[in-house]
């Protein structure tokens, strides 16, 4: 799935969550100075920024299928090799990286196993391949309140719980299918502060991702009903939400 939306709209929606998750995810990928690492499905560059801070721009590459995100990532991270590409066809030679990381993107890959195999191909022997996906199936992702409210009003609402990697153990299955070894599963968490309900709700109206597309398709009266249902579930004033992600790493 390509996110053909403005980078700042993504930043307000999921980018804030991505930035908070990036340090712990980079730790899971054993990212350290002296390595060369690729950020697969980089978006505007939340994880890319963390990699640059650890390795320097010249040691980081990034790919994304969304042209607006590639443009934003290039502007934000001069010196990083940012390319327009899909995970299933990475534009790099074999054994080019010490690690390949995919943060919050496997569930949007048209063919997750093919994407992970490509990440494996471009990573040297004994290098790390790592991925993470929000725990949508367990209701612990950052969009949990929105989808819970949507289902109370629309039992046929299709959320993100059935996407690849969104349930416990599924990333492990995908890693096994891709031929990775010494696979380990972990959970990562991120806590994000909101100044109030409106600050939480507004990004859903920008059409970003499946949740934004769902909200955008609703007739105005149903969108209002959904908004007010969400309002009843969340504090009006400042509050903090914590989200959990399934994460998996394996060796080439």
pLDDT, one tens digit per residue, over 96-147 is 999 999 999 999 999 999 999 999 999 999 999 999 999 999 999 999 999 9
- The whole domain housing 107 covers 7-141+160-193+241-251
3 state DSSP class of 11: helix
pTM of the shown model: 0.93
Contact, 200 vs 236, CB < 8 A? no
* DSSP code string of 39-66: EET-TTTHHHHHHHHHH-GGGEEEEES-
* Distances in whole angstroms, Cα of residue 150 to Cα of each of 19, 201, 211, 222, 225: 26, 13, 10, 10, 9
Q: Which CATH number is 66's domain given?
A: 3.40.50.150
| Interhelix angle 16-28/46-55, nearest 10 degrees | 40
Domain assignment present for residue 235? The answer is no
Query: Can you name the residues that pair with 63 across neighbouring β-strands?
Result: 40, 83
Domain assignment present for residue 152? The answer is no
Domain assignment present for residue 207? The answer is no
Domain assignment present for residue 95? The answer is yes
Number of domains into which the chain is organized:
1
Strands 239-251 and 123-134, how do they pair?
antiparallel
Angstrom distance (rounded) from CA 123 to CA 115: 13
pLDDT, one tens digit per residue, over 154-209 is 998 999 999 999 999 999 999 999 999 999 999 999 999 999 999 999 999 988 88
Domain assignment present for residue 173? The answer is yes
Angle at 234 between CA 230 and CA 236, to 5 degrees: 110
Domain assignment present for residue 125? The answer is yes
Give the pair of three-digit tokens for residue 66: 């969304």
Query: Can you name the residues that pair with 150 across neighbouring β-strands?
Result: none
* Distances in whole angstroms, Cα of residue 4 to Cα of each of 10, 32, 68, 163: 10, 32, 6, 20
């Amino acid at each position: 799935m390509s996110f053909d939306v403005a980078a700042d709209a993504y930043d307000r929606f999921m980018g804030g969550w991505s930035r908070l998750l990036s340090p712990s995810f980079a730790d899971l990928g054993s990212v350290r100075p002296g390595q060369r690492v690729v950020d697969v499905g980089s978006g505007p560059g939340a994880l890319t920024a963390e990699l640059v801070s650890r390795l320097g721009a010249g040691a980081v590459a990034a790919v994304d299928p969304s042209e607006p995100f590639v443009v934003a990532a290039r502007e934000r991270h001069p010196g990083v090799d940012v390319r327009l590409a899909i995970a299933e066809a990475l534009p790099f030679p074999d054994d080019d990286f010490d690690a390949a990381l995919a943060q919050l993107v496997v569930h949007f890959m048209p063919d997750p196993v093919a994407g992970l195999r490509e990440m494996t191909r471009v990573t040297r022997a004994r290098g790390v391949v790592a991925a993470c996906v929000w725990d949508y199936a367990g209701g612990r992702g950052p969009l949990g309140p929105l989808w819970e409210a949507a289902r109370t009003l629309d039992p046929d609402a299709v959320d993100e719980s059935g996407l690849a990697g969104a349930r416990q153990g599924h990333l492990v299955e995908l890693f096994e299918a891709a031929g990775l070894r010494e696979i380990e599963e972990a959970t990562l968490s991120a806590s994000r502060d909101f100044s109030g309900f409106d600050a939480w709700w507004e990004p859903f109206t920008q059409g970003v991702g499946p949740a934004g597309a769902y909200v955008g398709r609703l007739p105005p009266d149903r969108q209002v009903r959904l908004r007010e249902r969400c309002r009843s579930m969340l504090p009006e004033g400042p509050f903090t939400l914590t989200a959990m992600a399934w994460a998996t790493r394996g060796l080439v």
